[in-house]
Structure 1
Amino acid sequence: MSGRPSDLRLYLVTGDVPREADLVDVVADAVAGGVTTVQLRDKTASRDGLVRMGSRIVERIGGTGATFLVNDDLEVARALPGAGLHVGPDDLHPADVRAVLGDDVAVGWSLHDLAQLDDAAALAACSYLAVSPVWPTPTKTDTTAPWGLDGVRRLRDAIPATLPLVAIGGINADNAASVVAAGADGVCVVSAICSAPDPGAAARRLRAQVDTALAARTGGSS
């Protein structure tokens, strides 16, 4: 494992925001409310558009300690100093990403199948793994079969204890604690924050649920 982010407890993947809102403001409010990692994801934007948006986000959340990643596009990540990259099993291999971006940034990998755990080179290159999806989600309909809480448990038991596991898919403040109790070290959300009328308040509620569940699991403070 290399390039581990400092904190994966509450991970925001960007998505659609209300018509009157600015995504950069939403992200900044969410980070102020407790988001610890931000991934820029927009499958409809151009590469130049992603670089411009990423630059604005990095400028706003700089100094907060939040980790910033880009979804899937290595060239966008290279254009944004300090940005990490999150990839899936059909994207660039994590070891190839690490070779280009170096050891000081976060590299994440989505797990869609247990067979991916046989790829030792990929695991060694990753800062964290993402179980995806836990439950069905309207923000990404082209996913593989949901893992469910039992799947989260199986994956946590199957991967090295030092390799963080985050969970995404259908997670909100009502079920985040159960995902952490099943073994996730953090939760990823999209609409639970991006679509909220008050992103900061939504982030605070989620962060409180995650922190409490982590403390209960470890028998101490999170």
Structure 2
Amino acid sequence: MKRLALSDRDLFWPPADELIEAAERIRVRLGDWPAAVTAWRICLTAPDTARAGDLVVVIGRQAEPRDMVAWRAAGAGVIEVGTAGAALTTGGGERFVLEGVLAEDWLAALAAFLDCGFEPHDALVLALAWCDGDETRGEEAWPIDLSRFPRAAGLPAAPAQSFPSCPSRLGLYPVVPSAQWVERVLALGVATVQLRVKDATPEQLRDEIARAVACGRRHQARVFINDHWREAAQAGAYGVHLGQEDLETADLAAIAASGMRLGLSTHGYYEMLRALHFRPSYLAFGAIFPTGTKTLVTPPQGLVRLERYVRLLGAHVPLVAIGGIDLSRLAAVLATGVGSAAVVSAVTAAPDPAQAVERLRQAFMI
């Protein structure tokens, strides 16, 4: 593989030849990745003028709080490093606290992961999972040992009662908008389905969920309810699926006590750590491809990232790929080793839904 010209970029401030050389060694061993959209600059000392795209590294208490506020106001992120890990605060005020051990080459690793196109909070997770000398071992140096990853700190306690487990491979997983659609796909032999109801009155919502859950019992199928965990618990649903934002408001202890399974959406390494803290029944990664069914808050993950997630977590928790998956893409998705693929318009917008479901199911049997 060709040597990457990181030395031609304004990557560190002040310029640091040794860090550049280490970053190049690491970057070469990480494989081919799309170029980063943002020209990140890691500032080892206070920049004369902070700017968007700067990540100012503060060791211990070497910077005044007012300076850090000023850097963030200019759009820069601040990485505070201590003996127990590191914390990133973005220019927009988001804060990501990680507990772990920093390798000697963690700054070089951070630069390399940023160059692979990861956002700073995910690149920082990977940098803390890095061990000195990883670039010299194996065919590829990508961190895939979960025991070496940092821990997301500052989160509420996970429920004392664990969430029930799911099958390790959930298979074809349609996400449908109504109980009628739940009945249609379960009658076609689907074993896992998610009801995602939008724009319903409280009474309509309860009726839709109760009808979907009853259908799941008749077919001995796994019916997950999107978001509406209270109504799902009242109906005795098999499980509920929540987004990251729902973790701030949902009563996870009540969900666990109800006996429902819990699926959580994730969009990267930090959200993965955050979700794992709560010991969910499965994790969903997305969006894998561009999708028209939902506004994306992050760029599509792509198959290369999905394959890394599977290698990291496949032995620990069931995984679901979601976002833009249709029949033409399903074989490539399954080739990553993921045990389930969620589909939306590939079924609900198909000219012949029954034929679409049959072809999608057959792809899982190849």
Give the TM-score category using the shorter length. Answer: 0.7 to 0.9
State the one-letter code of the partner of 2:230.
E
| Displacement of 1:103 | 7.0
- Structure 2's unaligned 5+ residue stretches are 1-161
Question: Equivalents in 2 of 1:188, 1:195: separation in Å?
Answer: 14
Question: Equivalents in 2 of 1:38, 1:69: separation in Å?
Answer: 6
Contact 1:177 1:209 in 2 (8 A): yes
Give yes or no for the alignment of 1:40 onto 2:190: no
Of the three residues 353, 356, 366, the one matched with 1:199 is: 353
Question: Equivalents in 2 of 1:208, 1:98: separation in Å?
Answer: 38
Q: What TM-score, normalized by structure 1, do the two folds share? A: 0.81
Question: Equivalents in 2 of 1:72, 1:61: separation in Å?
Answer: 18
Aligned residue for 1:18?
none
Give yes or no for the alignment of 1:10 onto 2:10: no
- Structure 1's unaligned 5+ residue stretches are 16-22, 213-222
* Partner-residue secondary structure (3-state), 2:304: helix
1:31-80 residue CA offsets vs partner (Å, 9 max, x unmatched): 23232211111232233322111112222332322111111122221221
Contact 1:26 1:199 in 2 (8 A): no
Of the three residues 88, 96, 112, the one matched with 2:267 is: 112
Of the three residues 329, 333, 337, the one matched with 1:183 is: 337
- Taking the TM superposition and a 5 Å limit, the aligned residue runs for 1:72-87 are 72-87=227-242
* Partner-residue secondary structure (3-state), 2:270: helix
1:5-30 residue CA offsets vs partner (Å, 9 max, x unmatched): 34610111113xxxxxxx44432231
- Taking the TM superposition and a 5 Å limit, the aligned residue runs for 1:1-222 are 2-6=163-167, 8-15=170-177, 23-92=178-247, 96-102=251-257, 104-119=259-274, 120-122=276-278, 124=279, 126-159=280-313, 161-212=315-366
Going from structure 1 to structure 2, the CA distance change for 1:90 and 1:31 (only over 3 Å counts) comes to same
Going from structure 1 to structure 2, the CA distance change for 1:26 and 1:160 (only over 3 Å counts) comes to closer
Give the RMSD, CA atoms, in angstroms.
2.3
Question: Equivalents in 1 of 2:282, 2:230: separation in Å?
Answer: 21
* Partner-residue secondary structure (3-state), 1:107: strand
Question: Equivalents in 2 of 1:103, 1:58: separation in Å?
Answer: 14
* Partner-residue secondary structure (3-state), 2:190: coil
Question: Equivalents in 1 of 2:321, 2:208: separation in Å?
Answer: 25
Question: Equivalents in 2 of 1:205, 1:26: separation in Å?
Answer: 18
Question: Equivalents in 1 of 2:296, 2:173: separation in Å?
Answer: 21
Question: Equivalents in 1 of 2:253, 2:356: separation in Å?
Answer: 33
| Displacement of 1:135 | 0.5
Question: Equivalents in 1 of 2:254, 2:210: separation in Å?
Answer: 23
Going from structure 1 to structure 2, the CA distance change for 1:87 and 1:105 (only over 3 Å counts) comes to same
- Number of equivalenced pairs: 203
| Displacement of 1:92 | 2.3
State the one-letter code of the partner of 1:188.
A
Question: Equivalents in 2 of 1:94, 1:121: separation in Å?
Answer: 16
Out of 179-188 and 60-69, give the one that drifted further: 60-69
Contact 2:314 2:338 in 1 (8 A): no
Aligned residue for 1:215?
none
Question: Equivalents in 1 of 2:185, 2:196: separation in Å?
Answer: 16
Question: Equivalents in 1 of 2:355, 2:165: separation in Å?
Answer: 27
* Partner-residue secondary structure (3-state), 2:218: coil
Going from structure 1 to structure 2, the CA distance change for 1:151 and 1:191 (only over 3 Å counts) comes to same
State the one-letter code of the partner of 2:165.
R
Contact 1:152 1:183 in 2 (8 A): no
* Structure possessing the higher relative contact order (Cα contacts under 8 Å, 6 or more residues apart): 1
| Displacement of 1:165 | 0.6
Question: Equivalents in 1 of 2:289, 2:228: separation in Å?
Answer: 25
* Partner-residue secondary structure (3-state), 1:63: helix
Q: What TM-score, normalized by structure 2, do the two folds share? A: 0.51
* Partner-residue secondary structure (3-state), 2:165: coil
* Partner-residue secondary structure (3-state), 1:61: helix
